[in-house]
Structures are given as structure tokens and as C-alpha cells.
Structure 1
Amino acid sequence: MTQQTTIRKLAELVNKPVDKLLEQLAEAGMRFDGPDQVVTSIEKVKLLGFLKRAHGKEEKAVEDLAAPRKITLSRSRKQELTVGGGKNRATVDVVVRKKVVLVKPEAAAPAAAAPQDDERAEILRKLEESRQRNLSEQQRLAEADQRRAAEAAERKRQEEEAARLEAERAAAAAAAPEEEVARKSHVHPHPKPAAPRADDKAGHKHKTRGSHAMVAGVEDDERVSRFAGQMHLSAADRARRSTGRGKARPTRRHAEQARSGSGFTRPTAPIVREVAIGDAITVADLAQKLALKGGDVVKALFKMGVMATITQTIDHDTAVLVVEELGHTAVRADAGDAESELLAQVEELQGEKLPRPPVVTIMGHVDHGKTSLLDYIRRTKVASGEAGGITQHIGAYHVRTDKGTISFLDTPGHAAFSQMRARGARLTDIVVLVVAADDGVMPQTIEAVQHARAAGVPLIVAINKIDKSDADPLRVKNELLAQEVVAEEFGGDTQMVELSAKTGQGVDNLLDAITLQAEVLELRAVQEGRASGVVIESALDKGRGPVATVLVQQGLLQKGDYLVCGVQYGRVRALFDEGGKQVSEAGPSIPVQVLGLSGVPDAGDDFVVVADERLAKDVAQQRDAKRRETRLVSQAGNRMEDIMAQMGEGSGQLSLPLIVKADVQGSVQALREALTGLSNDQIRINVIGSGVGGITESDAQLAATSKATIIGFNVRADASARKVIETAGVDLRYFSIIYDVIDQVKQVASGILGVEIREEIIGTAEVRDVFRSSKFGAVAGCMVVEGVVKRHKPIRVLRDNTVIFEGELESLRRFKENVDEVRVNTECGIGVKAYNDVQPGDQIECFERIEVQRTL
């Protein structure tokens, strides 16, 4: 029985008619409109008191029934608590509240109760029976809840056992034969759920009785009935389990995770990652490897003083600092698979090393006879075909003499080709230094000695032009002593041969010296196997495509071989010697021209023959990507100090943009270095584009857009390029000698710089006395002490070496005559225009402004 009930139910409980009960309630002072109204416990007590009084019972008994059984007393106490000290001292109010509950003890029942009224006894009996029924119902529902909880725990245990068995069965099936797996696959891994019990079904009938009405209602919901009695589960666990009800069995991966505990868990400590970093990496890739946002990495770079966006590339050292700053570990990235495979193939080249021809580089100053000497040895006329009589690029030749086969490299002697000479010294076995006997040691001679010493190759000095009347070989030997090049006759180890490339005198002695030096070096190389070497020169031929002049150092280069050369790759379509004759193969120390590359390689790049085209392409692409990243690193990641320094310099520096096109790669490199070396604080020579081959339409478009000058060195523009050049008015200049290129660029740069206005003092006059005139005002009587004072030039008045006035002369007189100029140690009268404060002792400085052309 609940605490509230209706009049109709109360009438049924006490076994009285409804009308009779309504009359008794009305007599007790409680009026109701109908039998379905609710009667509270207090109203029931009042009705009971009224019935007792009606049957002669004392009023005290009614009051005892209505009196409260317990009293709750609340007390509070307030205190002040001081915390802190000094300036931080504060006072806090602390309130302590205490609640006391007093329960009235039950009075002892009398041994013999007074006789009760029959009606009152009937009501009390009914109430007691209702209370007992409620208690039994609650106990039964509690037992049912405990039973359902035990069944749910048993089901959970069975599911976990089934998952474990499934995982073990899957592991066993991986190693068992197929028929064993097929036999075991028919076994049902999950037991059937137990059928619901009869008393559980019966328990669902009582949905509104007692305090378990809510639980009974929950059990009617099919989605959550299985969790009845499991109220300890959280809402997330109940939702997770409810969504899985009625679905398929757990998968093998889930079962394995449940058994091994490898599911996702929240990390309890910061994760330290090992980040592999190559030579360069973009900020976005670094952020992805660190599992961070790109903005966080950019912020860390900014704190370190490096300004870089998320798309820019940073170098290895900067990336390592950022990774360590963010709490991770940086490791060096290993080389790519393609490079590793290439190195493995190169190391496989094994074989017997046999003697090979020596590689001899001819070096020296301009016009000392290097090419003429080689011309005499080859019995050809090479020097006459050189533009301007000088060598513009490295020439590679091999000649067969009575002393054996010798490969020669002819390097240019101009100052702009320093890189070519250094490259030639690195490729060679022996350096022949040509010095003119009538000219002596010159700057390029000294530079050639330095290159040979840096490369660690032996040096042979050829003193040329001894047939001239003013030749002095002894002078050359003495000048070489200053460079620590000591002749054998002076007690040194350097062979010096006197010869004449024009008459052939002493050339055989030079060949003997080269052969002797080669025997001492014991030059050997593997004659068979995949070839490897270096690019001497490269060019772009309009009919044949990219052409590379290579020097084979190991192995045998044959037609049809696949090779990778720097960032280019390809298959050898044809091989040509220096005379243009096609050959089928080339061995060690033999220079040949190679056709079939994908592009023009850089001079100085190594080439290697590989097994197939796939490997060559992969290596070339990987090298190209690495080179591009390195180039981006040099352009990005500017430090804030550098940017502020550039801002401080201002925009006063002028710029001359150029586009350089040449016939060979070596000439392009030399021109770039020579032209950019002309830059100074006033003007910067900027080579915005360069390349090998003729001038194309794209070159002309670039020059028109950037307003650049095109320099064609031994190349010409095609028809489409000439049309663009004429339409846009692009400045195009052709050259064949490097001297002319440098001279004309200097002239153009000087024209851009313009003229400079300079002030030159031409005379100074000292004021001896001042005369006053009504017509001219103050006239200074002066003595010219320096230079000449001219009438129509501006002047300055100085007092104590400080300028106090700047203007012009109003009059210049010698005695009473007007003159145009007065020279030193001559007296004169000077009238200063618009200034009358001239005093004795002042100096009048006469000067003129001149225009001076700026030059580099």
C-alpha cells in the first residue's frame, strides 16, 4: 500500500461502503467531491481520531498517533581563521554546522490492552496485512534482481571464455593442416543463452507494486533488460554493450586485443618519437613526422630566430634543433634504396688491374702556347680554329705516340676559367705547366701551380717559346722558385723541359718525361666490367641532342650501356672520339663523346654504368630531388638578423639582369662566375637564367618579362626567339671571346650607374680688409692663396674653417677692372652677392661641380 490512496480503495480495504466512508469523512470535517479523490496519511489519522472520539476514546490517544516520532536540531558555529603571513596575510571565516536527530522511544506496550472497538481493530488488521504483503513482494523482487545479476555475470564469463577459445583456435588453425582447420571450423564457439525462468516471467506482472515499480518498467525495455541488476556500469559501458546486442560474434582481432590487452589506452607520459631527417626537409613533412600542427613547428622555428613558412625547406641542422627543442629524438636518415643499390653494383666491379695510359692536363697562362704544343703533338691545327686565339673550354684528346698512348686535357688559361682548371687538375694524373720563356711566371701560372698542388698530382714544367730571341729559361726557373717549384738541376724533384711548340724542338723530351713519370706512378685500372668515370664537358647539339664528353676511369664503356650521370640518365646510343669518328667502346683513360642522355649533365659529374634503365632513372630522380631540396634550403629559412640587415641596407643598390646561353656547360659556369664577380655595393649583376644550347623562345620571353639582356656565347637565336626579341625590344648580344663579354657588361653596368656629381675646389682667397661701397655694399679685399678664383663659379664663405654662407660672386675686380679669374698670389676685390657680413680673416672658397661617370 502506498502512502496515498483513493477513497474507493480505502473503502475496499476497510470493507465499508463508499457512501458510508464519505459521510464519516464529512463528519470529521473533511469534504470530498467523489470516491476517486486521493486521501493522504494525515487525513487518515484525522479520520481515525474522529472515530475514536465518537466511540468514547480519550483525545490523548489521537494526539499520540499524530505526534511526531523524531525531532531534528541544527546548530552552526562561526570562527575566524588567519592564513599566510606578511603581505599575504588573510582572514577566513569558517562556519561549522552540526545536525542532531532525536528519536522518541517507543512506549512499552501494556500487559493487557484495553478492549478496542471492533471497527478500529478491523482497520488496523487490514493495514498490517497490507504492510506484510508489501514486504514479501519487495523481498521477492530483490531475490529476482540478484538472480538476474548472477545470470548476467555468468553470460559475461561465458562470452569471455568463448573469445579466448576463439583466439586459441585461430592461432592453432594457422599452424594446423587445412583439413584440421576445416574440421574445427564446424564447432560452434558460443554457448546458447539460458532460457528465461518461469519466476522471472511472473515477476514482470508486478510493474506498479512497491518501490520496484521503476525496475519492472526498465525490464520491459528490450534494449536495456539485460543490464537489470548491473547498475554499477557507467552510461558509456551500458551504451557500448547495448549497441553490441544481437550482433555477430567478436572478430579474431578484437578477441586478440581482449586477450592481450592491446586496445587503445590514454598515454600516461609524453611520447618521445625518433624522427629520421635527411639533408633537407620541409616544415610540413617535419610536422607530420612529429604528429604536430604545422603552426607549432613554425612557432618553434620563429623562437629560434629562423623565419620559415610551412611550405619552405630547412636544412638538417636546423631540423635537428627543432626536433630536440620539441622533446623528441632526431636520427640521420639513411640513403635511399636506389643509391644503396647503385653502391652495391659499383662495389661488385672486381677484376685484374692492368696498366693504363696516363691522363695529362696542359695548364698555364693565356697565350703561353698550351694549345700549340698539343697541336704539334697531334699533328693538327687546333689553335688556329680557336676564337681569339684562346681556348674557351676543356679539350680532351688521346694520341698514340712512339712512347705509347697518352690522353691530354687542354684547359683554358683565362682568369674566368679557374673552375675549369681546377676540374682538370682533379681528373688528371700528371700536370704539364706551360710557361713562356719570354713572358715568365704570370697570375694564371701561379694559379695552375696551386691547383696541381691541391690535387696532389706531379708537375712537369714545359718552358715554351725558347726559339724567340728574348727567351730566358733561367729567369722562368728562378721565378718558379718563389712558388716552391724547384727544378731537378737545382736539387728539386720537378722535371723542367725546354721546348718550342712552333718548331718542335724538345717535344720528344717532354714525351719522355711524361712516360717516365707515368712509370713511376704505376697507373693501373680494371679493363673489364661496368665503366665509371667523370664528365669533362657537355653541350646541347641541335641535331644530336645532349652530348657529354666523358673520361673513362674504370671498366669498359660500350654502346648500349645504361648509365646514370649526375641527375641525368640514359642509354648510350653512340660513342665518338675527339676526331668525330664513331667507336664501339672506350677503355680506361680514353675520352669519348656520349649520345643518348636525358639532359645535359654538369661538367664534373660522375657517371656509372648500371644494370638496367629502371635503376638509372630512380637514382637520377632521387639525386634531382635532393639537389632541389638543397637549393631550396639556401633560399629559405632566412634568419631575422639577416632580414633586418637587408632592410637596413635599403633599396639603393641597382640590379642588372642577364640571361647567359653558351655552347658548352663549362663556358656557362665560367661566364656566370665572371659576370657575378663584377657586382659591387652600387650594382648587382644578376644572372637570372643560363643554359647550354641556342637561344629559344622561352629565353626571349623571360628576358622580355624581366627586362634582361641576353648574352649568346658561340650560340644564336632561332626564328621564334628572334621574333619575340624584335617585338619586345630585348637587348641581345652575341660574343665568341670572353674578354668582350666582360668588357661590354662593364660598359652596360656603367651606363646604368649613371653619372656622379662631384665638387672640386679650384681656388681659395683670404680676406685681408673690407671696404664699404654705396653701389656694391661690402667689398672684400682678398689675396688668392691657392688655385684660381673664377667669376662665374659658386663660392663658400668660411670662418674658422666653418661654412657660414654659400652663394655666388657678384663682382670680381683687379684694381678697377672686371676680370674673369684671378690666380694665386694675386690681390683682388670680391663682392659677395646677397651677403654683407664679410670680415677680415674669412676665407672665400671657389669651387665647381663636375660630372663623373660611375664605373665598376
Structure 2
Amino acid sequence: MSEVTVEQLAKVVGIPSEQLLGQLAEAGIQAKGPDDKISDDEKSKLLNHLRQSHGKKATISASAPSKVTLRRKTVSELRQPGATRRNPLNRATSTPSKTVSVEVRKKRTYVKRSAVAGADATQQEAEAARLALEEQSKQQAVAEAEVEARKAAEAKKREEEQAEVRKVEEEARLKAEEEARRQAEEASEAARQAEEARVKKEQETKQQEAARGKKGNKESKGKEQKDSKSGSSRYGRKELHVSKEGRGRRKKKPSRRRGTPAVDTEHGFQKPTTPVVHEVKIPESISVAELAQQMSVKAAEVIKVLMKMGMMVTINQPLDRDTSTLIVEEMGHTPVVQRDEDVEADLLSTEDAAQAEGEQIARPPVVTIMGHVDHGKTSLLDYIRTSKVADGEAGGITQHIGAYHVDTAKGTISFLDTPGHAAFTAMRARGAKVTDIVILVVAADDGVMPQTREAIQHARAAGVPLIVAVNKIDKPEANPDRVIQELAQEEVIPEDWGGDTMFVQVSAKSGEGIDDLLDAILLQSEVLELTAVAEGPAVGSIVESSLDKGRGPVATVLVRSGLLNKGDIIVSGKEYGRVRAMFDENGKSVKSAGPSIPVVVLGLSGTPDAGDDVRAVADERRAREIASLRVDKHRDNRFAAQKATKLDEMFSKMGQGDVQNLNIIVKADVQGSVEALRESLLKISTDEVKVAIVAAGVGGISESDANLAVTSNAIIFGFNVRADAGARRIVEEQGLDMRYYGIIYEVIDDVKKAISGMLSPEIREEIIGLAEVRDVFRNSKIGAIAGCMVTEGAVRRNSPIRVLRDNVVIYEGALESLRRFKDDVPEVKAGTECGVGVRNYNDVQAGDQIEVFERTEIARIVE
């Protein structure tokens, strides 16, 4: 029995103590103050009184519970022994044993007899429900059994098929082993016969030498006897004479050297009975010599295999990873893909450690403005930063990515303005990769366009939130509701419709809704909780790069984290250098730039590719080393890729037949335009004419570019750049085709026209007349003359004809003669009779039809 005070019970119930004391008094419970205690029976009595006062039946009693549940838990441990496995090298490895804890829980319920008696009324219902549940379980079990049986049949069928395949493979393997064994036996028999022949020849040689030795001994003996009689010696003095035994021993030595050796002097190395299989580590690019060294073979063997595959290589030539893998597998070894040792990571480890230790602080959001061409993206940004950039754009469209940061009353925002034309898809994709928020500008009078859909896809691929700015709402023909409906079809749902995309109606001309747009941007950035390290080495991205004649390589850098200072050593892609000067978007010199701030940087060794990372490193030596590694890797990969594609190009040319090439050299003012031009021009290629970009780069057209155009017979395109004096001289002397452009779609249109001129014209046939043969007149001098009635069109003498019999072409040729009565006529029209002589064909019969047609050439146009 637990007791509580009146004050505690009042707090639990949530009423004042005075009100609870009044209710206790009405229920007949003695309680005078808040500190008086109340038992469980008194609580039940109070509850019954309150239920009766509200017109309900008092069913609550303080009786003992109808059932009691007892629980018990025991914990024990089971020890599972370790398993023994075999690795691919057939070596046994054992896993350690494991200890598993087993917990057993038991529960027992004791029910009061009165409760059991009260439950008899519902026992029949429970029994019926149980029977229904069992019936349903049986049906489900039958269905599951059928599914399992079907799966087992399918698995059995697959196993039978696999067994059949294995059987065929085993038969092929046994056949190959039998053939190899037979060849080995033949080789062994040939070697045995050769050894027998050699031994026989050596025995014959030995016998001949023995015979010559015996003859020599006889002659020597006779000479010695003669010398002894005369008392002289051939050595001059008798005491230096050598005995016969000594001479005999000296004569035996050459015999032993020329004969079969008495002991086996063969070397101890034995050729392995099974081939040695090496695990060859294959990086992204590897030379032929290195690959041969890893396989423990000579480089000539590798070159021989490559020549069989149609590739002529040298010992120092790099191979790409796919080609190296094929070579290793062809020579019976195991290729292992090896990632290149990340030397850059080691060199940049100090800077990364400094970045990781820095303190994270809030940073401004990076906002990318996307949308279709001429929907007002740049004009909207101009109003925000109070400038007039759009007025100076060629053709009224943005050709480059512009980076700006704007200090508003509500915070700093960095903007990236991407072009909207279809040719700048790649540039827009780069803008989406470095951004935090995407603003999709849609004109209220134009609606959703192709580049609008592409911008939505880029934003989704980058995984960044989207804010829709419905522009040009001040125009009379504006219809924002139609824009919302069209965007909803692209699964861009506004918040008013239950979606997650903010829609803001703005006007770039009057400024209406600009404040609401800035509020939406800052609100979204607060939700994202954007942070970055404000101190330490800077890390950023190249937004755009160009080559300025007076300042050299110029790069627009968007700092992602850290602090970029004037004088820092930076490395970007294959380029490096010291920051000699930094400028903001207005051309004002700055000394440092923090996170999310775009700046123009001078001092790099070249123009890096747009999208490359920028890192500040400790010293120039480290930057030079990183750039050199990247240059070598890029060169090896390019050479390897070119070599790998030569064989594919050869087969493709064999299949395509005669294909014309349109060679082009592209020079532009910034790297982004070069990339956009290259991708756009390569897409124009057809099956008959291939567009080939011979060279592409940033900067003016130089004399070397003109010489390359002469060598490759290429057209030079200059996009916002001009040729120098040397290049102009070569162009005039050689008669090269060099064109200047300022708008990209003019380049695309001209290339399409050039390709259309190179395409072979389309030949179309048009039936101009049909004549029916009524009778045939034969003449020994003239041949067969068909008397015809022109039923359709007109029959012309100089037009090609076809002879049809039962609507099947039996002859195609030309007319020999066309007469009307006795006169030769050039043309006979419908409804008129005529005589027709077919050239080199006399099998014309009555009932045949003569079809007259014309061929016309139609110039093909590239769409």
C-alpha cells in the first residue's frame, strides 16, 4: 500500500489542493490539510465517487489484481570454435574462436479463478477466431509452398544448365591436356633419338681416336729404339727423356677431354614443371619495360604480344591500364589494379592538416544564377550590384562566367553568373558544382525553355537547393501562373503548393521583389548553416582563366576556405606561381580574400583549366614538384589513350569507308569559351564528315597556329581574339581560311554550312510520265518499235526510262527514238499515241508499261 499526501495527489491530477480537499470531503474521506496522507483504498473510493457524480457506473475497486505475472532472466555463455579456411593460394587460415552470450527469459502468469470464470463467456469467440486464423495460416503456407516449389524447380534447372556448361568446359580442358601431353611425349621422343645419335657419334669418334693413338704409339716405339741404338736423344740430353709411362699418361688426357665425360657436369637448374604466375600491379600508366620487369620476362616478349594485337610500340612507350591488363592476362599472369601513389597527398598533407585544425565560422553563400538565354539573369544581377554589364555583352548574351560578391544590408552574398546559351552547358555545370544555392531565372512572358530544364538538371545533380525568380513581371504579357504550372511539370513544386521550392516574383528593370529575393537567399543560407575555415592555407576553385597580353595569365579564383593573401604560392592543375596581385570584380586591388569571395589572381605560370582546384602551399619548390607530377601524368595518360585508340580508329575507318574531315583550330580569349566551342563543334559531326579540333587554346592567333593550319589544312577560328602580324602574313601567303567571331552561335552556324557543302547531295527521282504499250512493230533494220498510249504525264526523249511488266521492273535504260506518226518529237503528252524505240532492248511486249522519270540533286543541310 503506497500513500501520498493531498498536495502530491493534487499536483499529479493537476488541480488546486483546496478543490481536492472539497472532493475528498464529498466522498466521505477524512482529510483536513494538504499534508494529510491518502491510501490506495481512499483513492479508489474518491474515483468511484467522481464517476457516480458524472453519471457513470462505479467499476473501479481496490480489490486485488486478477492475475500476477512472474518473470525470470538467466544469462549463459557459449564458446564457438574458430573455422579453418583456405585462401586463393591454398593456404590454410583459421579464424579465432568466439564467445556468444545467451540470454533466456521466462514468464509465468497466475490468473485468479474468478477472472477465469469471467473469461468463459469469450472463450468460444476466441476459439472461433483461432480456427479462422489457423485456416488463413494454412492457405498462406500452401501458397508459400507453391512459390518455394517453383523457385526450387528454377534453381534445379539453372544448376543443370551450369552442370552442362561445366561438363563441356571439363571436356575441352581434358582434350587440351591430352593434346599437350601428346606433344610433350613427341618432343621427349625426339630429344631421346637426338641424344642416342649424339652418343653414337661420340663413340665412333672415340674409336677413331683410339685407332690413331695406337698407330702413333707404334711409330713412337720404333723411333725410340732407333734413338737408343744411335745413342742420341731427340731432346738433346738423355737425362731429360720422359718415360713411356709418362708419355702414355699424357696421351690419355686429350682422349678423356674429347670423349664422353665420366661424371655428369650438367648444371643444377631445372625448368619448372608448372608456369610461375605473378601478381602484376598495374597503375594508370606503365611503360613496356616496367611491365615486362614485373612479369619477369624480357621486354621483347611483351612487344611481340602487342604486335600480335596490332600495336607497334617501343620499350619506353607508356601503356594505359586497359591495354596492360590485356597483356598481363594474355601472358598468363594475374593483373592487380594499383592506384597511383598519391604523392600529391603527401606533399599537401601539411596544408590539409592546417585546414583540419582551423576553426569553422559562418561564411557567405555562393549563389549561381541560371536560366535560359535572354531571360534576364545578368540584368537581375546588374540591378543588385548597380552595374551595367549586360549592355556590353556581344549579341546581348553572357559569354563567360562572371563572379561577383555583393555587400548588402542583410549580409554578403557571392554571385556566379552563368551563360544561358545551349553551347555553354559545360560552363553552367561547373557553376553548379561550386555553388551553395541556385537561382533559376524564368521570364514571366516566355516560360520554361530548354536551357531552363538543363539548369534544373544541373542543380539536382549538384544537390543544391533551388530558388525560382520569376522575372519580367512588369511586362503586360507576363503570366507568372503559367510559369509555375510549367515548372510543376518539371517537379519543381512551390511552397504554396506543398513543395520545398521558394518562388519570388521580381523585375530586373524596376527592382520589384529584389529585397524579397535577397531575403530568400539569406534565409536559405541560414538553414544550410554554411561554415568554412577562415584562417590557414587557402583552398578554392578556378571559375575562369584567360591570357592577357599585358598582364599574362589571369585566373578568377573563388576561395572555398582559408585566407588567400598577396604573395602566397599557389598551385592549380598543371600551373603554379606566386600571387603577384589580386583584384576584385570592380578592378580594385585587394590584399587578401576569405571564404566565398571571388578574386582575379595574377602570377600563374599558365592558364589553368576552369574547374581546377587552387591550393596555397608552403614554398615554391613544393608547388613546382606538384605541377611537374601532374604534367607528367597528364602527358603519359594522353599518349597512352592516343595509342590505345589507333586500332579502334583503323577499324572504324574500314567500316565507314571514305570519311571527310573538317580540321579546325580554335583560339579564344578565355578557357571556358575554348571548352564550350570544342564541345559544340564536335557535336556537329556526321557519318560522312567528321569535325576534328586540331588545336585549341587561350590567347591570340600566333604564327605557330598559322603554320599548324598549313600543315593540317585546317580552318582558324578566333573567338574574341585576333592574329598577330606573323600569322596574318602566313594566312595571306598560303590563302588560309581564318575567321573572327564574337558570338558563339555564329561559329556553329558557319560550321554547319561548311559541313553541308561537304556532304554529297541527295538524289531524288520523280516520275514524269507513264506510257502503255498497245502493240509492237518489228523491223529488221530498226528493231522493235512499241506503239504506246501516254496515260500519265509526258514522255520525254532525253529522260531515262524503265520497262515494267506486271508492275515489275524488267529493264532500265534510255529511249532510242520517240515519234509522233513519222516525225521525231522531243515530248509526247498524256492522251496521245506515239512510237517508242528502247535503246539496246528488243523484248518489249504488248501490255508493258514504260515509266519515264527524272533525277534531281538536292543539297543536304546539317540541322
TM-score for the superposition, normalised by structure 1: 0.67
| Of 416, 422, 426, the match for 2:429 | 422
Quote the offset at 1:515 in angstroms. Answer: 1.0
| Of 389, 396, 401, the match for 1:394 | 401
Matched, 1:829 2:834: yes
| Structure 2: gaps of 5 or more residues | 1-184, 194-238, 252-260
Matched, 1:360 2:367: yes
Quote the offset at 1:734 in angstroms. Answer: 0.3
**Separation of aligned partners in 2, 1:803 and 1:501:** 72
Equivalent AA in structure 1 for residue 721 of structure 2: V
Quote the offset at 1:724 in angstroms. Answer: 1.2
Mean Cα displacement is larger for which, 843-852 or 437-446? 843-852
**8 Å contact 2:828–2:834 — kept in the other structure?**
no
Matched, 1:280 2:285: yes
Equivalent AA in structure 1 for residue 394 of structure 2: A
Quote the offset at 1:206 in angstroms. Answer: 10
**8 Å contact 1:776–1:831 — kept in the other structure?**
no
**8 Å contact 1:308–1:638 — kept in the other structure?**
no
- In the other structure, the counterpart of 2:479 is 472
- In the other structure, the counterpart of 1:383 is 390
**Separation of aligned partners in 2, 1:741 and 1:412:** 16
Matched, 1:298 2:303: yes
- In the other structure, the counterpart of 2:613 is 606
- In the other structure, the counterpart of 1:745 is 751
- In the other structure, the counterpart of 2:818 is 811
* Closer/same/farther in 2, CA of residues 789 and 464 from structure 1, 3 Å limit: farther
Quote the offset at 1:348 in angstroms. Answer: 3.1
* Closer/same/farther in 2, CA of residues 325 and 681 from structure 1, 3 Å limit: closer
Matches within 5 A, 1:31-70: none
Quote the offset at 1:483 in angstroms. Answer: 1.0
Q: The residue matched to 2:607 in structure 1 has which SS?
A: coil
Q: The residue matched to 2:521 in structure 1 has which SS?
A: helix
Equivalent AA in structure 1 for residue 759 of structure 2: L
- In the other structure, the counterpart of 1:657 is 663
Equivalent AA in structure 2 for residue 647 of structure 1: M
Q: The residue matched to 2:844 in structure 1 has which SS?
A: coil
**Separation of aligned partners in 2, 1:646 and 1:312:** 25
**Separation of aligned partners in 2, 1:830 and 1:446:** 66
**Separation of aligned partners in 2, 1:351 and 1:361:** 27
- In the other structure, the counterpart of 1:728 is 734
| Of 684, 688, 695, the match for 1:678 | 684
**8 Å contact 1:759–1:850 — kept in the other structure?**
yes
**Separation of aligned partners in 1, 2:733 and 2:300:** 47
Quote the offset at 1:843 in angstroms. Answer: 1.6
**8 Å contact 2:394–2:742 — kept in the other structure?**
yes
Matches within 5 A, 1:791-802: 791-800=797-806, 801-802=808-809
Q: The residue matched to 2:388 in structure 1 has which SS?
A: coil
Matched, 1:566 2:573: yes
* Closer/same/farther in 2, CA of residues 384 and 333 from structure 1, 3 Å limit: closer
- In the other structure, the counterpart of 1:553 is 560
- In the other structure, the counterpart of 1:707 is 713
Q: The residue matched to 1:564 in structure 2 has which SS?
A: strand
* Closer/same/farther in 2, CA of residues 726 and 781 from structure 1, 3 Å limit: same
Q: Deviations over 1:733-786 (max 9, x none)?
A: 000001110111112222233544443322323323445689987554444444
Q: Deviations over 1:489-513 (max 9, x none)?
A: 1111111111111111111111111
**Separation of aligned partners in 1, 2:343 and 2:498:** 54
**Separation of aligned partners in 1, 2:662 and 2:697:** 18
**8 Å contact 2:653–2:659 — kept in the other structure?**
no
Mean Cα displacement is larger for which, 343-352 or 672-681? 343-352
Q: The residue matched to 1:503 in structure 2 has which SS?
A: coil
| Of 440, 450, 453, the match for 2:457 | 450
**Separation of aligned partners in 2, 1:787 and 1:285:** 77
* Closer/same/farther in 2, CA of residues 519 and 707 from structure 1, 3 Å limit: same
* Closer/same/farther in 2, CA of residues 426 and 784 from structure 1, 3 Å limit: farther
**Separation of aligned partners in 2, 1:330 and 1:757:** 54
Equivalent AA in structure 2 for residue 539 of structure 1: S
Quote the offset at 1:468 in angstroms. Answer: 1.4
**8 Å contact 1:809–1:830 — kept in the other structure?**
no
**Separation of aligned partners in 2, 1:213 and 1:753:** 98
Quote the offset at 1:793 in angstroms. Answer: 2.4
**Aligned pairs, how many?**
613
**Separation of aligned partners in 2, 1:830 and 1:472:** 71
- In the other structure, the counterpart of 1:373 is 380
Q: The residue matched to 2:516 in structure 1 has which SS?
A: helix
Equivalent AA in structure 2 for residue 631 of structure 1: R
**Separation of aligned partners in 2, 1:787 and 1:364:** 56
- In the other structure, the counterpart of 2:524 is 517
Q: The residue matched to 1:348 in structure 2 has which SS?
A: helix
**8 Å contact 1:563–1:572 — kept in the other structure?**
yes
Mean Cα displacement is larger for which, 536-545 or 399-408? 399-408
- In the other structure, the counterpart of 2:146 is none
Quote the offset at 1:846 in angstroms. Answer: 1.3
Mean Cα displacement is larger for which, 794-803 or 399-408? 794-803
Equivalent AA in structure 2 for residue 850 of structure 1: T
**Separation of aligned partners in 1, 2:599 and 2:528:** 24
Q: Deviations over 1:513-555 (max 9, x none)?
A: 1111111111110000000011111101111111111110010
- In the other structure, the counterpart of 2:7 is none
Q: The residue matched to 1:367 in structure 2 has which SS?
A: coil
Q: The residue matched to 1:446 in structure 2 has which SS?
A: helix
Matched, 1:410 2:420: no
Mean Cα displacement is larger for which, 309-318 or 268-277? 268-277
Matches within 5 A, 1:26-175: none
**Separation of aligned partners in 2, 1:487 and 1:306:** 59
**Separation of aligned partners in 2, 1:267 and 1:526:** 66
- In the other structure, the counterpart of 1:630 is 637
Mean Cα displacement is larger for which, 393-402 or 762-771? 762-771
**Separation of aligned partners in 1, 2:793 and 2:613:** 68
Equivalent AA in structure 1 for residue 542 of structure 2: V
**Separation of aligned partners in 2, 1:763 and 1:294:** 73
* Closer/same/farther in 2, CA of residues 577 and 820 from structure 1, 3 Å limit: same
**8 Å contact 2:799–2:814 — kept in the other structure?**
no
* Closer/same/farther in 2, CA of residues 214 and 298 from structure 1, 3 Å limit: same
**Separation of aligned partners in 1, 2:593 and 2:769:** 78
* Closer/same/farther in 2, CA of residues 267 and 661 from structure 1, 3 Å limit: farther
Equivalent AA in structure 1 for residue 327 of structure 2: V
* Closer/same/farther in 2, CA of residues 333 and 440 from structure 1, 3 Å limit: closer
**8 Å contact 1:712–1:735 — kept in the other structure?**
yes
Quote the offset at 1:290 in angstroms. Answer: 3.7
Quote the offset at 1:288 in angstroms. Answer: 3.9
TM-score for the superposition, normalised by structure 2: 0.66
**Separation of aligned partners in 2, 1:443 and 1:849:** 40
Which of 1 and 2 has greater Rg? 1
Quote the offset at 1:687 in angstroms. Answer: 0.8
Quote the offset at 1:213 in angstroms. Answer: 8.2
- In the other structure, the counterpart of 1:346 is 352
**8 Å contact 2:818–2:826 — kept in the other structure?**
no
Aligned-residue sequence identity (percent) comes to 59
- In the other structure, the counterpart of 2:131 is none
* Closer/same/farther in 2, CA of residues 640 and 561 from structure 1, 3 Å limit: closer
* Closer/same/farther in 2, CA of residues 751 and 303 from structure 1, 3 Å limit: closer
- In the other structure, the counterpart of 2:494 is 487
Quote the offset at 1:727 in angstroms. Answer: 1.1
| Of 688, 696, 705, the match for 1:690 | 696
Q: The residue matched to 2:324 in structure 1 has which SS?
A: helix
Q: The residue matched to 1:721 in structure 2 has which SS?
A: helix
- In the other structure, the counterpart of 2:771 is 765
Mean Cα displacement is larger for which, 829-838 or 706-715? 829-838
